[in-house]
Amino acid sequence: KAGVTQTPRYLIKTRGQQVTLSCSPISGHRSVSWYQQTPGQGLQFLFEYFSETQRNKGNFPGRFSGRQFSNSRSEMNVSTLELGDSALYLCASSLLGKGFREQYFGPGTRLTVT
């Protein structure tokens, strides 16, 4: 079974631009979560989507948004990029289930904002 895939793997953008990152979950997984990892703040939850609906949201400004498609693939968008948005963005997918929801992480997208 293929794992979680993320594209692109590396990205360089300029301040003020916007960026879209993509995540394809493991086949059959309907929940997709996004996390940001930076040296200063560590790993922080951005949002979670399930059945095309945002189910949870972390404490990030409105510049960070996402969506999920009917095939469970998800995209996240960051508008008006700031230097502080430079980070590793990780996507994780999980099966729907009560209680136990192990998350499987993709390889990440390394975003550099200059």
Chain residues in the site for another protein (CB under 8 A): 31, 33, 35, 42-45, 48, 50, 55-56, 58, 90, 92, 94, 99-108
Least distance in Å: CB of 66 to another protein?
13
Least distance in Å: CB of 105 to another protein?
4
Residue closer to another protein by CB (options 14, 53) is 53
For the chain, how big is the Rg over CA atoms in Å? Answer: 13
| 26 DSSP assignment | P
Strand order in the sheet with 19-24: 5-7, 19-24, 74-78, 64-68
Least distance in Å: CB of 42 to another protein?
5
Residue closer to another protein by CB (options 18, 43) is 43
Least distance in Å: CB of 58 to another protein?
8
35: exposed, middle or buried (C-beta count within 10 Å: 0-12, 13-18, 19+)?
Answer: buried
Residue closer to another protein by CB (options 20, 45) is 45
What is the Cα–Cα distance from 102 to 68, expressed in whole angstroms?
19
